[in-house]
Structure formats: C-alpha cells, structure tokens
Amino acid sequence: MSALLVIDRLRVRYDSRDVLRALSLEVARGEIVSLMGPSGAGKTTALRAVAALQAFDDGQIVVDGFGLTPGPVPPESRLRALRRRVGLVFQAHALFEHLTALDNVTLALRHVLGQSRADADAVATKLLSELDVGSRAAAWPRQLSGGEAQRVAIARALAPDPALLLMDEPTAALDPARRGALGATLRRLCEQGRGLLVATHDAEFAREFSDRAVQLTA
C-alpha cells in the first residue's frame, strides 16, 4: 500500500543552523504517526513544510502524489491540489475571531469549494456534533474553552475533507480526561481512511494513541 505522505531527507536551515537535518518518515492511510521530540527539535517546522507554509532547503515531500521541492514556497495558485489534501490544526487554534464556531467551519466550504450556505451549514453542523461541540455552533471564538476551540479548529480543518491531517501539540492545553477523548476522536478519524501526523512532546499520548512514533533530537 502506497504511503499518503512521504518525507524524504528533509532539511531546513534557519540562519545557517540546521533546524531539521535529514528527516524521513511516511504516513499511510488509516495511520496515526507521532512526531516526537523536545521543544525546538523542529516538529512544528516539519508540519509547516508539509503544509507549504514554509520553504525547505533539501529533500522532498510528496502528499498523495503532489510533490514539494526545495526552494521558495510556490504561489497559492499552484498549491490548490495540496490544499485539498492537507488540513492543519494549529497549536493556538487560530480560529477566525470575527466568525462564530459554525462560520469558522463553513467559510472554506462556501468560498473555496463553492457550496451553498445550506449545504455548508449541514456539513459543519454534523462535524461539530461528531466532535461533541454541536451545542457551541453559535458561540464566538472568545467564548470557547481551550478544548472547545481545539475541536472547532479540528472541524474547520476537516471540513474540506483532506486525506492528511496535521496537528501541532494537540494535548498541550488538555486535562487527562480530555486527552483520552481527543485520542478516541483521532482514532475514529483515521478509521475513515485519513492519515494523521501529530507533533507532540507528550510520550504517553503518543504511546497510547499512535501507530508509530518518529523521534527528533534537538
């Protein structure tokens, strides 16, 4: 079975310092892979390179047949295929503050995928319910708890139905009970055929919920 994501000898330099030297990993469909390592080891940098938010210096990244090469990040007009394949959940959630939880999820459905308001609302309501925040659909981001905001952010990333979901430190602000619930949610998502790459320094979470872990050193 071919891998959904292939990272091959990825190298990223900041100010003549190697942040990532030669990272290689694969994520298959239906698989959760944890990217482990202490702060500053380059976990977030690796996710940002896969999401084409930042350039890399050497190596290759292939997402479901879409290849990224070293050098400057290509213009958005040439990244449409990648954007459809990859969703990213930021550590700080980065919800759009001027929109309700529901509209955070529907915005891309309506304006990128061209769905009608009714269709987008239906998809978003279903997603929010599955993630157990259906009752918070009308809330503003500033009214959400950390855990709620995270689940709304997951729903937003999942709305365009990407094959690969990237998550940056999803357990950083969660208590143990919430962490278990999140793990169960992620497991359910990958059973739908997605691949998940989760950057975390939480060894317990990685051991309990991921299929494999890749260790980075600082």
Partner 1 sequence: MLRDSARHRQTCGVNVHVLSLAVALSMQHGQPRVLVWGGDAEGGAPFVEADPADPSRVRGFDVEVADRIARGLGGGRTARFVQVQWSNIDQSVERGDFTLGLSGVEDTQARRGRHAVTLPYFEFREVLAVRPDDQNRIHDLADLRGRRVATLGATIAYDLLIAARDSTGMIPVSFDDDVHPYADLVAGRVDAVLLDHIIAQRALRRMGGRGFVILSQPVAVGHYVGVLARADSVLRDSIDAVLREAMRDGSLEQIYRRWSVWDDSEGGLFERILRTGAGAAGAAGTPARGSTPPAQVVAYLPSLARAAGVTLLVSMLSMTLAVFVGLALASGRLYGSTPLRILTTAYIELIRGTPLLLQLFVIYYGLSGVVRLPALLAAVLALGLNYGAYEAEIYRGALEAVSRTQLEAARTLGFSEAQTLRLVRGPQALRYALAPMTNDFVALLKDSSLVSVITVVELTKQTAIYATNVGSWVVPGALCAIVYLAMSLPLARLARRLERRWGGRAA
The residues of the shown chain that bind partner 1, judged by CB under 8 A, are 51, 53, 76-77, 80, 83-84, 86-88, 90, 92, 94-98, 107-108, 111-112, 142, 156-157, 160
Burial of residue 204 (number of CB atoms within 10 Å: 0-12, 13-18, 19+): exposed
Enclosing H/E stretch for 179 = helix 176-191
Q: What's the closest the beta carbon of residue 145 comes to partner 1, in angstroms?
A: 17
93 vs 136 by CB, closer to partner 1: 93
Instruction: Note whether 109 and 160 are within 8 A (CB).
Output: yes
Q: What's the closest the beta carbon of residue 116 comes to partner 1, in angstroms?
A: 17
Alpha carbons 101 and 95: distance in angstroms, whole number: 8
136 vs 156 by CB, closer to partner 1: 156
28 vs 113 by CB, closer to partner 1: 113
149 vs 206 by CB, closer to partner 1: 149
Q: What's the closest the beta carbon of residue 22 comes to partner 1, in angstroms?
A: 25
Q: What's the closest the beta carbon of residue 110 comes to partner 1, in angstroms?
A: 9
Crossing angle, helix 146-158 and helix 176-191, to 10 degrees?
Answer: 10
26 vs 103 by CB, closer to partner 1: 103
Q: What's the closest the beta carbon of residue 111 comes to partner 1, in angstroms?
A: 6
Alpha carbons 69 and 214: distance in angstroms, whole number: 22
Q: What's the closest the beta carbon of residue 61 comes to partner 1, in angstroms?
A: 15
Q: Which two tokens stand for residue 94?
A: 């980065």
Alpha carbons 207 and 216: distance in angstroms, whole number: 15
Enclosing H/E stretch for 214 = strand 212-215
91-102: string of b/e by CB count within 10 Å (b at 16+)?
bebebeeeebbb
Q: Which residues pair with 101 in a beta bridge?
A: none
Q: Which two tokens stand for residue 211?
A: 């299929």
78 vs 126 by CB, closer to partner 1: 78
Q: What's the closest the beta carbon of residue 157 comes to partner 1, in angstroms?
A: 7
166 vs 206 by CB, closer to partner 1: 166
Coil/strand/helix, residue 215:
strand
